[in-house]
Structure formats: structure tokens, C-alpha cells
């Protein structure tokens, strides 16, 4: 074991002395000089990021298929000394570059917010005394103190003490983790109870939290808007170049001079470029985003509006997304002579709200919801939960009689009760097995008269679970009705995942994420296609599953609320941060829900499909007009041996047509009932046929004008 290689499992299996020795540290921590040396060697507790020069980023917007066409056309206009047309084309290039540059700035938000999460102060032992240091200056081998409310800033090996940590935002697990000596506390967890001393084992990008940051940096959402633009420009470029070559060849045959030929080429190139495409796309998506904002959906990445129209798989995080991320008492099993209300009342007396413990809070909330009154009951003393004892105890007075009440892990409380009767033993085992199969945490309750000594008497069992949101089941059915396949991804256990997936209608084919490991790419795809969800997943697993689906040609949506969801949220075509999500999740997502529940996802998909219809209308119109113009002026040149329009006239015609048709962004359209996709091989031929028909109509008008009205 050393400073840079050990895993969390290896550390938990080691003794504190071994870990300290492997880190070349001690119970007294590091000296200031040694810490400074390690800071130079290992770097600060932060994620280094290579920042690209914004000027270079902006200039890159002038590089690409559409800019190339416009730049070539601009060069030709300057050669021909048509400076006004050249300036007009340059202005358009700059406007399009500016739109793209401004949209790209949002992609850096997630990493910045993740890095800010590490900007906290920690209590560290240096030179034999406790001091407060910026968490960014922590190094492997530092001895640190963790207490209630602390955000764990590094990966820590617990030397001594006991903690209850909330890792739901990090791992997706809904239940708190109980840590004691030789356990690992991961960066990004929040201490909910207890205090402990530990040694730092990993910092910065090497921590569990830091690896999530690295994943967010590497996530590259596949923008269908970029694919659309490239597809349109590719077809238009082929058409424009073909017409230019054809007409130029004929011009050479007619012995035209080089400047006339260059002018012809420029006319066709300008006519073929969809100059307003970036602006139209932005306007159409902005209209959709404005409509969504009125329904409680905030759009942080405009591309996601159009991308969402083609989604055919939607990955749902469980905790806080499908479920409430709040423990509740799902069931109470009482052992005679006690009743269910008595068991819950005893459990409430053995709970304390001040502890801010998820289990205590759930029991007290349920007791209040059921109207249980604790009048006539008085708590005389209270022993809080600890990972070592695995129970809470309270001495209470009920109607003048004193009792000692305990609640905790069944196997611990049954030892306090001594040998159970065959009847109670059978009931307890059956109930515990049933609760476990349903993915519930089982809490036992026992009681005895205080002052008499002797053994406790089993009172009953409580099943605690994180229930689904009320609208989750209906939303899943609506998602299916829209032709989208739901897939649940959760960090919770297989039993919990199966129970929740079954309750909301996702399905029961739930597997462990580890089953994907060691398989070939084809086998991984087959396993995902044959599953309704995965349990015990880590951030890298969610990210990998989204990537695998995209590699197979699927368009993927993803919901989430925690740090662990951030990489997958950014990678997905439609990353959706639910209400109450962490800042990290919100910054990584394409859309953010501001209201509880998931019904707004249906609105988002509907608006995205309406956006697609508007874009489809504009693209059909644009391709039709381009084909019409190219065919008309090509045929006209072969017929009349002269270009029917000047270079300036073509520029004005293109700009007028493109920007007037921006009004399509507000057209009234109807969303489809199935996912949309840009099938350019169907769209272009259909538009080309219309364009040719319009061109023939135009040529007929020219023929009539020349033959019957003798127009020159």
C-alpha cells in the first residue's frame, strides 16, 4: 500500500497503523514542511483544467463546412471587387460565429461548480496542533477531524470515531452510511451524525468526487443540431458545386473571360448556402425554451430542445427522481401482545428529532401523520445511535411507569431479548425476509420495565423505504406512450431497485451494473437492451451506459439530482435535473425542472417535437428554394447564355428569403406521438422534387414573358 495506488477496499481491510505507515504519516499528523513538500508533489486538492483561449475558441467558429463555403464566396467577391457583397458575407459569418460561441460558454459551468464544492476549510493536525486550513491545501497523510454538518473534502480513512454520512448526492444511495474505524469516507459526502478523526488518502482528481469531475470534463453530448447543419450544408454544397462546375464548363465553351466565370461560381455558392440556418435554429429553440419556462422548465442548453425530439431511451435515476429521497415507514409488524400503533409509539419515544437522523425523522413524521399522541409520555434519558452498538435506547415514563425502549438492527436487539419463542422467531424471520426482498431497511423495537434488569421483550418490526413520487407511475406510462423506453439507473441495492421499478411500471428485469464489466461491446449492448434498469451503479457506470446506448444509435434522455448523475446528465441528449437537484447536476443538465415531480418532462418532449416540426418546415422550404434557384439559373444560363440575376441580386434574394422565413419559428404545429429523426435522405429528394417543379414553373413564366410579351 502506498501513496498512489491503494483502493478503498484495501484500506478498509487494513489496520489504522498500517495505513498511517503506508502514507508515511502518524497519529500526530504531518509537519508543516512535510505537508508543503507533498503539496508540491501531489498538487492542490482540486481538479486542474486546461482553459482554452476564448479568442481562439471564437476564431474556430470560422472553421467548418458552412464557413468554408461562405469564406470561399467572400474571397471570390473580393477578387471580383464586389466589396459590398464581401462585407455582407463577412458580417453574416461573424453573426453566426457569435451565436455559436455564446452557446458554448454554458458547457464550462458544471466543472466550475464542481470545483467550488472543494472550496471549504478543514480542521487538520499540523505540527502537533489542530488548525483550520483551506481544503485545497490538504495532502495525503494529513490527519483531519470530521464532525456533524461537514462536507468531506477528500477521501478519508477513519482512524477512530463513528460517523453517519449522507452519500445520496454522490452515490445515489437513499439510506445513510454508518462508518467506524477502518471505513472510508468519500469526498462529497455530508456528515449527518457523530465525529471522527481520519487520515487523508486521496486528494483532487484522484478522489471519488474528483473522478466525477473528470467524467464531466470528458462528457461530450452529441448535438443533433450540429449533425443537422452538417447534413444540410453537405447536400447544398454538392448542389452548388455541381451547378458551378456545369455552368463554368459551359461558360468556357462560350469563351467567357475568367472574371465572368468567377462571378457565376460566386452566384451559385451564395445561392446554395443556408445562411440563416444558425439564426433560425436559435430562434426556434428560444421560442420553445420560453414556452417551457412558463411551465416550470428552465433550459440551460438550447441544443437540448431540438435534440430531445429524437429521444427513444430515457434513463431515470431512482433516488430523488423516481422516488422522494425521503425515508418513510412502509409497514409496521407487531408481536403480541403489542399493536402496530404501540410499536410505532415506542419507536417514536426511542427517536429524537435533534439528532437529524433520517430513520428517527421518518419514524417521528409517520407517528405525527397517523395522529399518535405522546401525551402522558416523558423521556427521562436518551442514548443516541452509534455504529458500534447499532441501536438507540431511551428511558421513558408512560402513565407513571418507567420503561427502557430500544430500537435498532434486529440481530442486535434480539440478543438483548435472549432466546425468542418459536412463534415470534418465525414471525420475525419471515417479516425481515419479506422486508429485505422489498428493498426495505428493517428496524426492530424492544422494551422492558426499567429498574428490573433482565431481558428486553420484542415489540415489533418497522419497514423503512424511500417511496416513489405520486406522479412517477403515471409519468412512466406517458413516456412509454410517446414511444420512449424507460431505463432505471440507481446506486441502491438490487432488491430496492426491483421493488421501485415494479411499483412505477418500469419493469422487473433489473440487473447489477457489475454484470456489464468484462463483457464485449456487443454483449454489453445486448445486456442493456434486455434490461429495464441497473442497480448498484457508480457515476462511471451511468456515464458508460449512456455512451453505449448512443454508440448503438439511440438518442438518450437522463434524469438526476445528485453529483453522481452529473457526467451522464451532460453526456445525454436531454440531461434533466429534477427539482431540488444539486448545483452540479443543474449545471450539467440541458434542462432544469423547478417544480416537484416529473410531469414537466412530458411537456419538454412535446415542445421539443414541436420545435422539430418547425425546423423541418424551414429546412423543407430552404432546400426547395435552393434547388429552385439553382435549377432556374442553371437552365436559364444554358438557354439564354447569360445569368438571369446579378451577384448583388442573388445576395439580396438569399438574405430576404432566409430571414423572412424566420417567422416559421412561431408556427402552430402538432407534436408527433413517436420520436423524430432527421432523415436527410428522404427530406432532400422530396424537397428537390418540389424545387424542380417550382423551377419549371418559373421557366415557363420566363418563356411566356419572352415569347408573348417580348420582354427583354
Q: Are 422 and 466 in contact (CB under 8 A)?
A: no
Please give the angle made by the CA atoms of 38, 169 and 184, to the nearest 5 degrees: 45
* Set 150, 166, 312, 317: catalytic member: 317
Rounded (10°) angle between helices 494-504 and 472-481: 70
Please give the angle made by the CA atoms of 124, 390 and 469, to the nearest 5 degrees: 90
Alpha-helical (H) ranges within 105-186 are 109-116, 168-171
Pairing status of strand 485-489 against strand 533-535: parallel
Q: Exposed, middle or buried: residue 541 (CB in 10 Å: 0-12, 13-18, 19+)?
A: buried
Q: Are 329 and 462 in contact (CB under 8 A)?
A: yes
What whole-number distance in Å separates Cα of residue 383 and Cα of residue 417?
A: 18
Residue labelled with grid coordinates 445511535: 385
What whole-number distance in Å separates Cα of residue 351 and Cα of residue 377?
A: 13
What whole-number distance in Å separates Cα of residue 610 and Cα of residue 591?
A: 17
Residue labelled with grid coordinates 420582354: 711
What whole-number distance in Å separates Cα of residue 356 and Cα of residue 498?
A: 29
What whole-number distance in Å separates Cα of residue 547 and Cα of residue 222?
A: 10
Q: Exposed, middle or buried: residue 123 (CB in 10 Å: 0-12, 13-18, 19+)?
A: middle
150 catalytic, yes or no?
Answer: no
What is the number of alpha carbons within 13 Å of residue 62 lying toward its C-beta? Answer: 13
Helix, strand, coil percent content, the chain, rounded in steps of 5: 55, 20, 30
3-state secondary structure 425-485: HHHHHHHHHHHHHCCCEEEEEEEEECCCCCCCEEEEEEEEECCECCCHHHHHHHHHHCCCE
**What DSSP character marks residue 222?**
-
Instruction: Please report the beta strands in 553-674, taking only residues with DSSP state E, as ranges in sequence order.
Output: 556-560, 574-577, 591-593
CA distance to 142, 201, 426, 461, 536, per residue, from 130 (Å): 11, 19, 53, 44, 38
3-state secondary structure of 531: coil
671 backbone φψ class: left, alpha, beta (φ>0; ψ -120 to 50): beta
Pairing status of strand 533-535 against strand 510-512: parallel
What whole-number distance in Å separates Cα of residue 382 and Cα of residue 274?
A: 74
Give the residue numbers marked as catalytic: 317
Amino acid at each position: 500500500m502506498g501513496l498512489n495506488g491503494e483502493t478503498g477496499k484495501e484500506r478498509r481491510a487494513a489496520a489504522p497503523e498500517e495505513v498511517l505507515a503506508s502514507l508515511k504519516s502518524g497519529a500526530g499528523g504531518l509537519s508543516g514542511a512535510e505537508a508543503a513538500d507533498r503539496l508540491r508533489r501531489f498538487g492542490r486538492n482540486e481538479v486542474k483544467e486546461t482553459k482554452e483561449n476564448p479568442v481562439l475558441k471564437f476564431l474556430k467558429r470560422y472553421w467548418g463546412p458552412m464557413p468554408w463555403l461562405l469564406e470561399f464566396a467572400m474571397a471570390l467577391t473580393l477578387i471580383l471587387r464586389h466589396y459590398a457583397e464581401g462585407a455582407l458575407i463577412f458580417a453574416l459569418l461573424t453573426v453566426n460565429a457569435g451565436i455559436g460561441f455564446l452557446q458554448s460558454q454554458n458547457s464550462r459551468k458544471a466543472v466550475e461548480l464542481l470545483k467550488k464544492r472543494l472550496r471549504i476549510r478543514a480542521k487538520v493536525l499540523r505540527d502537533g496542533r489542530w488548525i483550520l486550513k483551506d481544503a485545497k491545501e490538504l495532502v495525503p497523510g494529513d490527519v483531519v477531524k470530521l464532525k456533524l454538518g461537514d462536507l468531506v473534502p477528500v477521501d478519508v480513512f477513519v482512524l477512530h470515531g463513528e460517523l453517519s454520512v449522507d452519500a445520496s448526492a454522490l452515490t445515489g444511495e437513499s439510506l445513510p452510511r454508518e462508518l467506524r474505524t477502518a471505513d472510508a469516507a468519500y469526498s462529497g459526502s455530508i456528515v449527518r451524525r457523530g465525529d471522527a478523526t481520519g487520515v487523508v488518502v486521496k486528494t483532487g482528481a484522484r478522489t471519488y468526487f474528483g473522478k466525477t469531475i473528470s467524467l464531466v470534463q470528458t462528457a461530450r453530448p452529441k448535438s443533433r443540431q450540429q449533425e443537422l447543419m452538417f447534413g444540410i450544408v453537405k447536400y447544398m454544397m454538392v448542389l452548388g458545386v455541381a451547378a458551378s462546375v456545369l455552368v463554368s464548363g459551359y461558360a468556357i465553351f462560350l469563351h467567357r473571360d475568367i472574371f465572368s466565370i468567377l462571378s457565376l461560381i460566386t452566384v451559385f455558392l451564395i445561392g446554395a448556402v443556408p445562411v440563416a440556418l444558425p439564426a433560425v435554429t436559435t430562434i426556434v429553440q428560444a421560442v420553445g425554451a420560453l414556452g417551457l419556462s412558463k411551465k416550470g422548465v428552465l433550459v440551460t442548453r438550447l441544443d437540448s430542445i431540438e435534440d430531445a425530439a429524437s429521444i427513444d431511451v430515457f434513463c431515470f435515476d431512482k433516488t430523488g427522481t423516481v422516488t422522494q429521497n425521503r425515508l418513510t415507514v412502509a409497514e409496521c409488524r407487531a408481536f403480541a401482545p403489542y399493536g402496530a400503533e404501540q410499536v410505532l409509539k415506542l419507536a417514536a419515544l426511542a427517536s429524537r428529532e435533534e439528532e437529524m437522523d433520517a430513520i428517527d425523522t421518518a419514524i417521528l413524521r409517520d407517528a405525527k401523520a397517523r395522529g399518535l399522541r405522546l401525551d402522558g409520555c416523558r423521556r427521562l434519558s436518551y442514548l443516541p445511535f452509534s455504529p458500534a452498538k447499532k441501536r438507540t435506547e431511551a428511558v421513558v415514563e408512560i402513565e407513571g411507569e418507567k420503561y427502557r425502549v430500544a430500537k435498532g438492527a434486529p440481530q442486535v436487539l434480539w440478543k438483548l431479548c435472549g432466546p425468542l419463542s418459536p412463534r415470534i422467531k418465525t414471525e420475525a424471520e419471515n417479516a425481515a425476509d419479506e422486508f429485505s426482498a422489498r428493498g426495505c431497511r428493517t428496524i426492530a423495537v424492544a422494551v422492558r420495565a426499567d429498574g428490573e434488569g433482565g431481558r428486553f421483550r420484542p415489540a415489533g418490526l418497522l419497514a423503512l423505504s424511500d417511496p416513489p413520487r405520486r406522479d412517477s407511475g403515471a409519468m412512466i406510462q406517458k413516456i412509454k406512450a410517446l414511444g420512449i423506453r424507460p431505463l432505471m439507473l440507481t446506486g441502491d441495492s438490487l432488491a430496492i431497485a426491483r421493488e421501485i421499478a415494479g411499483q412505477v411500471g418500469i419493469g422487473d428485469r433489473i440487473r447489477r451494473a457489475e454484470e456489464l464489466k468484462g463483457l464485449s461491446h456487443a454483449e454489453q449492448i445486448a445486456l442493456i437492451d434486455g434490461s429495464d434498469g441497473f442497480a448498484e451503479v457508480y457515476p462511471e457506470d451511468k456515464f458508460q451506459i449512456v455512451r453505449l446506448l448512443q454508440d448503438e444509435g439511440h438518442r438518450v434522455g437522463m434524469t438526476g439530482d445528485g453529483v453522481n448523475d452529473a457526467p451522464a446528465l451532460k453526456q445525454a441528449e436531454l440531461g434533466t435535473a429534477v427539482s431540488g437537484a444539486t448545483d452540479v447536476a443543474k449545471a450539467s443538465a440541458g434542462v432544469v425542472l423547478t417544480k416537484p415531480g416529473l410531469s414537466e418532462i412530458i411537456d419538454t418532449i412535446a415542445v421539443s417535437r414541436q420545435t422539430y416540426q418547425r425546423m423541418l418546415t424551414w429546412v423543407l422550404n430552404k432546400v426547395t428554394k435552393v434547388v429552385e434557384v439553382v435549377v432556374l439559373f442553371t437552365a436559364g444560363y444554358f438557354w439564354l447564355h447569360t445569368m438571369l440575376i446579378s451577384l448583388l441580386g442573388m445576395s439580396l434574394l438569399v438574405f430576404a428569403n432566409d430571414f423572412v422565413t424566420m417567422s416559421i419559428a412561431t408556427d402552430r404545429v402538432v407534436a408527433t406521438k413517436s420520436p423524430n429523426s432527421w432523415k436527410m435522405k428522404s427530406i432532400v429528394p422530396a424537397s428537390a422534387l418540389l424545387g424542380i417543379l417550382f423551377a419549371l414553373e418559373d421557366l415557363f413564366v420566363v418563356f411566356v414573358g419572352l415569347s408573348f410579351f417580348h420582354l427583354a
